Amino acid sequence: MASDFEYAAVAVEHAQRPRNLGALDPCDGHARVTGPCGDTMAVWLQVGDGRIRKASFTTDGCGALLACGSVATELAMSRTVAEARALEQKDVLDALGGLPEETEHCALLAANTLQAACEDYTSRGRSEGQDESTAAGSCASCDSSSCSAKDRRQNESDQEFADRQALERRLCRIRHKLLVLSGKGGVGKSTVAANLAVSLALAGQRVGLLDIDVHGPSIPGLLGLQGRQISVAGGELVPVRMTDHLAVMSIGFMLPSLKDAVIWRGPLKFNVIRQFLKDVAWGDLDYLVVDSPPGTGDEPLSIAQLVGSPAAAIVVTTPQDLAIADVRRCVSFCEAVSLPVAGIVENMSGLVCPKCGERIDVFKRGGGKALAEETNVRYLGAVPIDPAIVVSGDAGTPFVDRYRQSAAGQAFADIVRTILAGQGPEPLTTTTKRES
């Protein structure tokens, strides 16, 4: 209860006389984050020799948020950017001598904003001194005469042309886009998408993982990123950086709570997905892995239309006949929208009894392989049922990171090896060729 809580003197001092208030100009890293309570915090950083020389903040929030911003920027100063980025809610709370439970989220917002400003600093450096927003706002580096973004289309307004150019500039910096699709829900599509993205990142690839399931985003939960928020820096959405090689963006970061239901109409979904592709500061990526909702509805259609080429679908199925029939529809959908199919993954393919070692084919086996042959699509492999996948997913720890040696871990490794072996402008054998 707030009334029982005794504020430490240091918290009162920071709330009444906050340090480091106001913007910094020039600045080397900046982010603005809105917390679930609707309050916003902005942080600016000046960095020299990899250390934070000056950090400042502003907020439209309460006294607790002022105290958190003040102490978080104090904590950041003189640390390296990596050290400041690692500061957490607990560090801010500890430095303030604690806060009442109902305002502890202020410390999370301050830590998240500081972290996002550090990531902004890092991503500016990653683009070799070139400001990401500048790179996104200029086509000067592209000298391709065949680029479809060069010329205005018939009946295209100024705004539409500018938006299309911005989208294509962004996508130009992503070498491969893999859309993970499934005919129906519950076959492990999100699990496959998350573990593919983590495996590719562990293999040294620069990876973005985009979760466009607006009705049930599960990627934040699978990767232990619940509660993280999207920040805006330089007019761009800054993805949540899970590791140096893996950036994650999900509609789940925008919903105040997992309990919140959002009613999305088709055009709104299209616009949100477009914004995720156009306005997210992905930087240069080797792979963008997209976790799309099941079926052949608005979201898969939107992403297939927007993502450009080269892009390819990875279709996830379970082995039983019912799932296979849905996947057949999914492959036809890809053909209809001229999206090449990179391959089929058969998930939950058999269970090896942990006690006796006998293999039990719970949902049959081999349906995915047979369908791959029937539709002339590459078969990428089979991932067995493994209870550790459920436990890891529920705990938010990437399965492939922890259980590399397991049969399922090896199956993911084989799939990723096949994908990497096909690196190039057209990554894998495909059923259809896309028109540009």
Q: Which residues in this chain contact ligand ADP in the complex, by CB under 6 A?
A: 182, 185-191, 218, 294, 347-348, 383, 385-386, 389-390, 393, 408
Q: How many CA atoms lie within 13 A of 212 on its CB side?
A: 32
Comparison of 256 and 387: residue with beta carbon closer to ligand ADP: 387
Indicate the pairing of strand 40-48 with strand 51-59: antiparallel
Shortest distance (Å) from residue 353 CB to ligand ADP: 14
We find the least distance from the C-beta atom of residue 316 to ligand ADP, in angstroms, to be: 7
> What values do phi and psi take at 137, rounded to 5?
-95, 5
- Amino acid, res. 410: Q
7 versus 264: smaller Cβ distance to ligand ADP: 264
- Tell how far CA 86 is from the center of its chain: 19
Measured from the CB of residue 266, what is the shortest distance to ligand ADP in angstroms?
A: 21
Cβ at position 339, least distance to ligand ADP in Å: 19
Residue number of the CB closest to ligand ADP reads: 188
Indicate the Cα dihedral angle 52, 56, 60, 65, nearest 10°: 60
Cβ-based nearer residue to ligand ADP, 18 or 300: 300
| Closest approach of ligand ADP to the CB of residue 190, in Å | 3
Closest CA to 330 of 371, 270, 373: 371
How many angstroms separate the first and last alpha carbons of the chain? 61
Most distant CA atoms of the chain, gap in Å? 72
Minimum distance between the CB of residue 355 and ligand ADP, rounded to whole angstroms? 17
**DSSP for residue 58:** E
Nearer to ligand ADP, 65 or 330 (CB): 330
The alpha carbon of 382 is separated from its chain's Cα centroid by a whole number of angstroms, namely 25
Contact 54, 24 (CB under 8 A): yes
Closest contact distance (angstroms) between CB of 121 and ligand ADP is 34
Residues 6+ apart with CB under 8 A from 145: none
β-sheet bridge partners, residue 53: none
| Nearer to ligand ADP (CB atom), residue 8 or residue 325 | 325
Minimum distance of ligand ADP from residue 416's CB (angstroms):
15
Q: Which is nearer to ligand ADP, 103 or 347 (CB)?
A: 347
Based on DSSP, count helices (H) and strands (E) in the chain, helices before strands: 16, 14
- The residue (of 30 and 189) whose beta carbon lies closer to ligand ADP is 189
Closer CB to ligand ADP, 294 or 310, in the complex = 294
Alpha helices by DSSP H, 18-148: 63-76, 81-85, 89-95, 104-126, 132-136
